[in-house]
């Protein structure tokens, strides 16, 4: 295709790399942006750049945050005795949306997966154990991992370490359809899964 505008071509190319985006939708978005005023377009451009500039990881729970510790870990309204263990920051988002959980989080940053060479040391299990030992007052871990082999293995491993330390390890109920990603669960199902959690 002949380049009509190098700048436009560059924008389309960059947009087309985003997940769920093809060349046609990238073109449509680029054309849409051309019609917006300067301020609107620069706001989007800046918001994207800020993602890498402003966001860091909370040194307690390893969720993404603008300030460290994150608002959840530094909130006095949250129950410090319960920690919900998730794989990715996006899972925290999904769970917060239900407004059902009032404890803290621990973001593992992955799950144990021998096939992909991810062992317990590659994810933040040791950091979780340290939180239990260092007297944050953790009484219960709620595992909210995806219901697949890796999630099960990771839960099993965490349970093996945490239970002898006197911590109750539960997991959210398998109301979640098997083989689905946590990210795509509707809030109602997720709320029910929280309520129906059982001992590991």
- Of the pair 8, 161, the CB lying nearest a second copy is at 8
Beta bridge partners of 56: 65
Beta strands at 198-199 and 168-171: parallel, antiparallel or unpaired: antiparallel
Q: SS3 for 83?
A: strand
Examine residue 87 and tell whether it contacts a second copy (CB under 8 A).
Answer: no
- Of the pair 75, 126, the CB lying nearest a second copy is at 75
Give me the least distance between CB of 80 and a second copy, in Å please: 17
188 CB neighbour count, 10 Å cutoff: 10
Instruction: Look at residues 149, 57, 147, 153 and name the one whose alpha carbon lies nearest to residue 105.
Output: 57
Examine residue 118 and tell whether it contacts a second copy (CB under 8 A).
Answer: no
Examine residue 71 and tell whether it contacts a second copy (CB under 8 A).
Answer: yes
State the DSSP H helix or E strand holding residue 176, giving kind and residue range, or none if neither. none
- Of the pair 163, 189, the CB lying nearest a second copy is at 189
Q: How far is CA 187 from the centre of its chain?
A: 15
Give me the least distance between CB of 99 and a second copy, in Å please: 8
Instruction: Look at residues 133, 161, 144 and name the one whose alpha carbon lies nearest to residue 103.
Output: 144
Q: Please, which residues have CB within 8 angstroms of residue 2's CB and are 6 or more apart in sequence?
A: none
Examine residue 126 and tell whether it contacts a second copy (CB under 8 A).
Answer: no
Q: SS3 for 105?
A: strand
User: Helix, strand, coil shares of the chain as percentages rounded to 5?
Assistant: 50, 10, 40
Examine residue 31 and tell whether it contacts a second copy (CB under 8 A).
Answer: yes
Among 59, 66, 74, 116, binds a second copy (CB under 8 A): 66
Give me the least distance between CB of 118 and a second copy, in Å please: 15
Give the range of 10-18, 112-120, 122-130, 172-180 binding a second copy by CB under 8 A: 10-18
Examine residue 103 and tell whether it contacts a second copy (CB under 8 A).
Answer: no
Residues that bind a second copy (CB under 8 A): 1-8, 10-11, 13-15, 17-21, 25, 27-34, 36, 38, 41-52, 54-55, 63-66, 70-72, 88-90, 92-93, 96-97, 99, 183
């Amino acid at each position: 295709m002949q380049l009509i505008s190098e700048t436009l071509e560059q924008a389309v190319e960059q947009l087309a790399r985003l997940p769920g985006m093809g060349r046609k939708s990238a073109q449509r978005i680029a054309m849409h942006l051309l019609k917006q005023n300067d301020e609107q377009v620069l706001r989007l451009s800046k918001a994207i750049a800020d993602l890498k500039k402003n966001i860091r990881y909370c040194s307690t729970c390893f969720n993404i945050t603008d300030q460290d510790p994150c608002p959840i870990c530094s909130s006095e309204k949250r129950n410090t005795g319960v920690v919900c263990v998730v794989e990715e920051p996006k899972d925290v988002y999904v769970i917060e949306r239900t407004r059902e959980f009032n404890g803290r989080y621990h973001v593992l940053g992955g799950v144990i997966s021998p096939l992909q060479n991810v062992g317990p040391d590659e994810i933040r299990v040791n950091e979780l154990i340290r939180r239990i030992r260092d007297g944050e007052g953790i009484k219960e871990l709620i595992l909210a991992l995806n219901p697949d082999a890796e999630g099960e293995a990771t839960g099993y491993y965490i349970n093996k370490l945490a239970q002898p330390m006197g911590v109750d390890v539960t997991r959210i109920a398998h109301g979640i359809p098997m083989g689905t990603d946590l990210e795509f669960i509707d809030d109602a199902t997720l709320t029910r899964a929280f309520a129906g959690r059982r001992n590991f």
